[in-house]
Structure 1
Amino acid sequence: MADTTAPASPHDHPAPELPQLPGLPALSEISAESWREANRRLLAKALAEFAFERLVEPTELGDGRYRLDLDSGVCYVFAAERGAFDGWRVDKDAITRGATGLLGDETATPAWDAQQFLVDCADTIGTDAPTLGIYLTELSATLTVDAARIEHGGATAAELRELDHAELECHMTGHPTQVANKGRVGFSATDVRAYAPEARQRVKLQWIAVLRGLAEFRGTPRLSEAAVLDHELAPATRAAFRAVIEGRGADPDAYVWMPVHPWQWDRAVQVLYAGEVAQNRIIPLGESADDYLPQQSVRTMANLSVRERYDVKLPLRIVNTLVWRGIPPHCAQGAPVTTQWLAGLLGKDPVLRDELRTVLLGEVASVTVRHPYLAGVPETPYQHLEVLGCIWRESVSSRKDENERVRTFASLLHVDEHGTPFVAELVRASGLPAQDWLRRLFETVLHPVLHVMYTYGISFNPHGQNALIGYDESDVPRRLFLKDFVDDVSVSHTRIAERGPEPDSYDHVLPRKTSTVIRQHVVDALLLGHFRYLAPLAADHMGVPEPLFWRLVRDAVVAYHKRHPEKEDRFAEFDMLAAEFPRFPQNTDRLVVTRYVDRAYRHALRPNGTVPNPLA
């Protein structure tokens, strides 16, 4: 459970060396073949995900082949296998593009161009030219990073198994469902090579002092503002920062100190908050000595110099995977109180605490900075209101056992450039039969999440980045780590006595949802968003056919039911064994629903039909 006590100040020691692997090469250093291979992979993914979301409707030709006729007059023919949830697996090497030639006859050639496919299907899917223009920018940025990875080969699955969790994050390939999953609109090519996780570059954070009243610090009850600074900054650094403020003729204690991402400080804060900087309401203090490593979300930074120090979540004014990547002020304000409530509630649960040993990586402190003018203007687009703030989260290193290895759930979907899935390497290293290893994995991941949902009517969003798995010395899964509570934790409308009193303002930081939506968070994050992609890897590389894979997942759900028959009414309310689930189409939302319209608020995805449940 989350440890919300004030931490001791860690000792500084030299930053460890990162593995000596090449960073991202410049675009001019990427070969044409690497570019085409990246396109082939992304084209296959686009066909699969667009067909899954019913953006396009391929026609079956027989023998595992399908034809997609588009309004543009172009057709694509491809080979694919169908999987659970009506999913698709498209063979990247068996796609052709047919178009009418100069003589009026249709000519089919091998297809490899993902951007051409988007142009070809724009009318069919119902997107418009402005949306397509920005989306192709995201697509090209994604392809550039993927091609760079192909060009230098990357680490093998065996090499990745030896990495720490923070370094391992830098080798992941992005969101499995979203096609343009590394768009990062706002980053230049130089920015990507400096700040993207796959660049594996050390980053030093800029620290600033913000006048009280403009900035507000919040922490868990046992964690003061001074304790956070003691934890995060060496005494010499704190003294130097105080001297900077005193040199401006100001009182250091009249300010809230906080880190800022260097890109955000240069590109956003000094622009939007220029008046505050000019009037000494915001004072730049300089860099701290610590080195940080960007994680998959790009805006979360892990401390490399002192591993026990907090991870820092910082806003970035870029668009990536559907939204602007700022930090909403209500989220920064609500993070510590949400952590305290969850720690107090779930930390006393004997199943979670003693049997499952679940770890909540608490968001223990934050700084909120509202814009002095725009914060009071109704309907201001949220990108302008989420520019400055920070959240400190407990690090994995501060909570894991001595010999425990912790890796993100997402890492299990990674396949190296030799075609070896990371999950297959873990199974090999464990010495267990694949079925036994998977059975342990499913119980490790599902049982804590199901227990919280059934017992308290609370859902996390345990997707690939938010859920981490702790492994024993033999790489067998043994417990779950969860993070990202504020804005990702929801409570059911149903009044549940076990939940007790909830924090004030729950409508902002603890949104109320129906039981179906609470369940859908689990379904989307675990079943549709992860196991749907893990099943083919298990079938192709671990000798576990997909029907058996899904039976093992169902067995894990049923095993929890059998251990806790007293919750039978909750099993029906949050029915994981229902015949079907709603489908929430993420790519459709970007291309057709939301597009790139500047909105005042983030919005919820709209369901688009249903998919059959393989656990039914």
Structure 2
Amino acid sequence: MNPQTNNISAAEAVAHLQPDTWLKVNRLHVRKIIAEFAHELLITPVLQATTAGWGHYTLSPAAGIDYSFRAQLLSLDHWHIDTASIEKTVNGAAVPLDAVHFITEFSEQLGFDPVLLPTYLEEIISTLYGSAYMHTYNTTTATELTAADYQDIEHAMMAGHPCFVANNGRIGYDTVDYRKYAPEAATPFPVIWLAGHKSRTVFTGIDTLQYEEVLQQELDTDTITSFHGMLKEKGLQPEDYYLMPTHPWQWYNKLASIFSPDIAANNLVCLGYGKDAYLPQQSVRTLFNVTTPGRFYVKSALSILNMGFMRGLSPYYMRTTPGINEWVAGIIEGDAYLQQKGFMMLKEAATMGYTNHYFETAIKGESAYKKMLATLWRESPVGKLQAGQRLMTMAALLHVDAHGEAMLPALIRASGLDITSWLQQYMDCYLSPLLHCFYYYDLRFMPHGENVILILENNVPVKAIMKDIAEEVAVVNSELDLPENVRRIVIPVPEELKILSIFTQIFDCFFRFVSHVLVEHADYPEEQFWALAAECIQRYQQLHPELEEKFKRTDLFADEIVKTCLNRLQIRNNQRMIEPNNPFKSQQFAGTFKNPLAAFKHRQVAVV
């Protein structure tokens, strides 16, 4: 099977770009741009009047250009905008909403570097292209998704990262690649297997896993024999090589040309496609094995620009990844509280990294050219299920389908629980373990929707699984004595900013959107939502009085919390937003939030 032959016609590549659909996705995206840019104080809507709990606002980027809309300002400076109310006029005449025009009209106010602006605009246009595709072809309803399987839900997701405005750029994919490799296209494809000479390639596994075991799990005996036979036909010795999978796009677009000296010297040998089919996940470069779901995920370097980074993988980071995963897993599996909550992680159990000597010699610092050929194997969540359980990406809690129906209220209705009871169970299995990891172990994850898998019973969350560990996990205490192979995850954080590990990652980047979905689609009071979050935190704190000093130093009930701004990061540098080993050095701040938890600071809750 060769996906390179499955080309689409020139007309099919743009069949979803119809006038009505384009107007629809632009309206939705302008809504998001206004909401997130106003949230980060990049733009300032002007209140004109208030009617029945809604404010009527205007924006005027230039003389003669005016936007108007009605909105409610929710907690955490979150803008709940009535989509249908947004209007634009130019010299008094109504014109269609256009997300790209909006960015260009405000580009000076937003502080764009003229050199970076075109790439940002390309990402916005590409995001709109994908949105039009999804609104055309992803017609499964939110209600239907409440009974769907793990991968069907994964590929139905439409929104991307809730905070970032340019969040589905995938610069590097052409329109044919999009149909083959975008997660929403849901087209299974095989991976290409390469043989890397051991003089250039490093395999690293967790202590209990050897290279031969990975190979025997991921490939059947006939395929291994065939691949080894290809090496022998070239006069090469199989024992001198490691076999590794890579994304087909990476092979055809980067490796086959840029690594041609290595290929000519037989340091890198293409063995062809494997038998198993994979589906791309929301993170694009992570692939789920649909032929044999119990086998590992494959995550490989993919040199496309997406949401502020070139999505390569460092061969050097790969060498410490399994050790970091073992260390984190040891904490999770050895902690009674986390085990009681059912908290789990997917281990990145083995890695492979190939170094290109030309670029290693020529470039002393960090570079995307040094991150083009690496792979990691991550555990599948399928084996963690018990009878009556199923998996769902946590991103589904924010999903609104092409028909305007939100999945979260539909999921709660299908569970038979009331909203409050459902949310209590969700927070207990998701928020409680993250609080414990942070306060007890100074351990911070990146627990946004795409990085968390929920285990459901009767459509109710009962366990949470963290993934994407080694690239996202961090220890926020530089004084801890850690093993040498774990030291790279220690990040320097000023004491007053440690709170952002919880507040930004969970509350601002996820909970404010969950609350909005419930306000808009279920008429659930946001005050009640934040009361439940406060109750969850207080219950944890009462269970752990020995951590009282830490609770005071990192006070989640403080009146105000500094506001971290993600779009400001991407606008400043859409090629490389932050330094991974010191993300707080790059952070962009804009004032403070009024903390919705502060109202519940002195409340006592029952410990159950």
For 1:255, which of 225, 235, 241 is the aligned residue? 241
For 2:331, which of 329, 339, 345 is the aligned residue? 345
**Structure 1 residue 556 and structure 2 residue 542: aligned?**
no
CA contact (8 A) 1:464 1:525 kept: no
CA contact (8 A) 2:349 2:379 kept: yes
Q: Which amino acid aligns with 2:594?
A: P
Q: Distance in 2 between matches of 1:62 and 1:127?
A: 32
Output one character per residue of 1:258-278: Cα deviation in whole Å (capped at 9) or x when no partner: 000000011111122110001
Query: What are the residue-to-residue correspondences of 1:505-516 with 2, within 5 Å?
Result: 505-516=485-496
Aligned to 2:3: none
For 2:484, which of 482, 496, 504 is the aligned residue? 504
Following TM superposition, by how much is the alpha carbon of 1:108 offset from its aligned partner in structure 2, in angstroms? 4.2
Query: What are the residue-to-residue correspondences of 1:308-327 with 2, within 5 Å?
Result: 308-327=294-313
For 2:162, which of 172, 176, 180 is the aligned residue? 176
Output one character per residue of 1:326-377: Cα deviation in whole Å (capped at 9) or x when no partner: 1123331121000111122331111112x11211110110001122122244
Q: Distance in 1 between matches of 2:63 and 2:356?
A: 46
Aligned to 1:8: none
Aligned to 1:78: 69
Query: What are the residue-to-residue correspondences of 1:575-586 with 2, within 5 Å?
Result: 575-586=555-566
CA contact (8 A) 1:519 1:574 kept: yes
For 1:608, which of 582, 590, 593 is the aligned residue? 590
Following TM superposition, by how much is the alpha carbon of 1:36 offset from its aligned partner in structure 2, in angstroms? 0.5
Following TM superposition, by how much is the alpha carbon of 1:152 offset from its aligned partner in structure 2, in angstroms? 3.3
**Structure 1 residue 413 and structure 2 residue 391: aligned?**
no
**Structure 1 residue 399 and structure 2 residue 384: aligned?**
yes
Q: Which amino acid aligns with 1:316?
A: L
Aligned to 2:8: none
**Structure 1 residue 26 and structure 2 residue 5: aligned?**
no
For 2:475, which of 491, 514, 519 is the aligned residue? 491
Q: Which amino acid aligns with 2:477?
A: H
Q: Distance in 1 between matches of 2:389 and 2:282?
A: 21
Against the structure 1 CA distance between its residues 270 and 337, is the aligned structure 2 distance closer, same or farther, given a 3 Å change threshold?
A: same
TM-score by length of 2: 0.91
CA contact (8 A) 1:374 1:380 kept: no
Against the structure 1 CA distance between its residues 414 and 161, is the aligned structure 2 distance closer, same or farther, given a 3 Å change threshold?
A: same
Following TM superposition, by how much is the alpha carbon of 1:492 offset from its aligned partner in structure 2, in angstroms? 2.2
Q: Distance in 1 between matches of 2:185 and 2:138?
A: 14
Output one character per residue of 1:362-409: Cα deviation in whole Å (capped at 9) or x when no partner: 011000112212224445552111100011110111222232112121
**The residue matched to 2:438 in structure 1 has which SS?**
helix
Aligned to 2:7: none
Output one character per residue of 1:526-553: Cα deviation in whole Å (capped at 9) or x when no partner: 2111111111221233342111111111
Q: Distance in 2 between matches of 1:382 and 1:507?
A: 22
Aligned to 2:44: 57
Against the structure 1 CA distance between its residues 436 and 29, is the aligned structure 2 distance closer, same or farther, given a 3 Å change threshold?
A: closer
Q: Distance in 2 between matches of 1:291 and 1:484?
A: 22
Q: Distance in 1 between matches of 2:550 and 2:177?
A: 48
Q: Distance in 2 between matches of 1:227 and 1:513?
A: 39
Q: Which amino acid aligns with 2:82?
A: D
Following TM superposition, by how much is the alpha carbon of 1:518 offset from its aligned partner in structure 2, in angstroms? 4.1
Against the structure 1 CA distance between its residues 463 and 29, is the aligned structure 2 distance closer, same or farther, given a 3 Å change threshold?
A: closer
**Structure 1 residue 290 and structure 2 residue 270: aligned?**
no
Query: What are the residue-to-residue correspondences of 1:567-578 with 2, within 5 Å?
Result: 567-578=547-558
For 1:445, which of 423, 430, 453 is the aligned residue? 430
Aligned to 1:230: 216
Query: What are the residue-to-residue correspondences of 1:472-487 with 2, within 5 Å?
Result: 472=457, 474-487=458-471
**Structure 1 residue 429 and structure 2 residue 414: aligned?**
yes
Q: Which amino acid aligns with 1:166?
A: Q
Aligned to 2:83: 92
**Structure 1 residue 45 and structure 2 residue 24: aligned?**
no
Following TM superposition, by how much is the alpha carbon of 1:563 offset from its aligned partner in structure 2, in angstroms? 1.8
CA contact (8 A) 1:322 1:590 kept: yes
Q: Which amino acid aligns with 2:171?
A: V
Following TM superposition, by how much is the alpha carbon of 1:189 offset from its aligned partner in structure 2, in angstroms? 0.9
Output one character per residue of 1:113-168: Cα deviation in whole Å (capped at 9) or x when no partner: 11111111112212143322211211111111111222235101122122222331
**Structure 1 residue 542 and structure 2 residue 522: aligned?**
yes
Q: Distance in 2 between matches of 1:515 and 1:308?
A: 42
Query: What are the residue-to-residue correspondences of 1:101-250 with 2, within 5 Å?
Result: 106-152=91-137, 154-173=139-158, 174-250=160-236
Q: Which amino acid aligns with 2:100?
A: Q
Against the structure 1 CA distance between its residues 265 and 532, is the aligned structure 2 distance closer, same or farther, given a 3 Å change threshold?
A: same
Following TM superposition, by how much is the alpha carbon of 1:475 offset from its aligned partner in structure 2, in angstroms? 1.2
Q: Distance in 2 between matches of 1:464 and 1:278?
A: 43
Aligned to 2:349: 364
CA contact (8 A) 1:410 1:464 kept: yes
CA contact (8 A) 1:72 1:120 kept: no
Following TM superposition, by how much is the alpha carbon of 1:205 offset from its aligned partner in structure 2, in angstroms? 0.1
**The residue matched to 1:502 in structure 2 has which SS?**
coil
Aligned to 1:13: none
Against the structure 1 CA distance between its residues 281 and 598, is the aligned structure 2 distance closer, same or farther, given a 3 Å change threshold?
A: farther
Q: Distance in 1 between matches of 2:93 and 2:495?
A: 49
Output one character per residue of 1:60-92: Cα deviation in whole Å (capped at 9) or x when no partner: 112211121224653322211111111112222
For structure 2, the 5+ residue unaligned runs are 1-10, 599-608
Against the structure 1 CA distance between its residues 440 and 89, is the aligned structure 2 distance closer, same or farther, given a 3 Å change threshold?
A: same
Against the structure 1 CA distance between its residues 280 and 606, is the aligned structure 2 distance closer, same or farther, given a 3 Å change threshold?
A: same
For 2:60, which of 64, 69, 72 is the aligned residue? 69
Against the structure 1 CA distance between its residues 266 and 517, is the aligned structure 2 distance closer, same or farther, given a 3 Å change threshold?
A: farther
Q: Which amino acid aligns with 1:324?
A: M
Q: Distance in 2 between matches of 1:579 and 1:76?
A: 33
**The residue matched to 1:465 in structure 2 has which SS?**
helix
Following TM superposition, by how much is the alpha carbon of 1:477 offset from its aligned partner in structure 2, in angstroms? 1.2
For 1:528, which of 508, 511, 514 is the aligned residue? 508
Q: Aligned residue pairs: how many?
A: 580
Q: Which amino acid aligns with 2:595?
A: N
CA contact (8 A) 1:410 1:530 kept: no
Aligned to 1:20: none
Q: Distance in 1 between matches of 2:302 and 2:422?
A: 38
**The residue matched to 1:136 in structure 2 has which SS?**
helix
Relative to total residues, which structure has the larger helix share, 1 or 2?
A: 2
Q: Distance in 2 between matches of 1:346 and 1:414?
A: 29
Q: Which amino acid aligns with 2:573?
A: T
CA contact (8 A) 1:165 1:408 kept: yes
Q: Distance in 2 between matches of 1:289 and 1:252?
A: 20
**Structure 1 residue 36 and structure 2 residue 2: aligned?**
no
CA contact (8 A) 1:490 1:518 kept: no
Against the structure 1 CA distance between its residues 222 and 467, is the aligned structure 2 distance closer, same or farther, given a 3 Å change threshold?
A: same
Following TM superposition, by how much is the alpha carbon of 1:599 offset from its aligned partner in structure 2, in angstroms? 9.7
Following TM superposition, by how much is the alpha carbon of 1:315 offset from its aligned partner in structure 2, in angstroms? 1.1
Against the structure 1 CA distance between its residues 588 and 73, is the aligned structure 2 distance closer, same or farther, given a 3 Å change threshold?
A: farther
For structure 1, the 5+ residue unaligned runs are 1-23, 100-105
CA contact (8 A) 2:146 2:414 kept: no
For 2:367, which of 377, 382, 399 is the aligned residue? 382
Q: Distance in 2 between matches of 1:463 and 1:519?
A: 16
Output one character per residue of 1:418-451: Cα deviation in whole Å (capped at 9) or x when no partner: 3221111110111111111111111211111001
Q: Distance in 2 between matches of 1:33 and 1:113?
A: 13
CA contact (8 A) 1:421 1:537 kept: yes
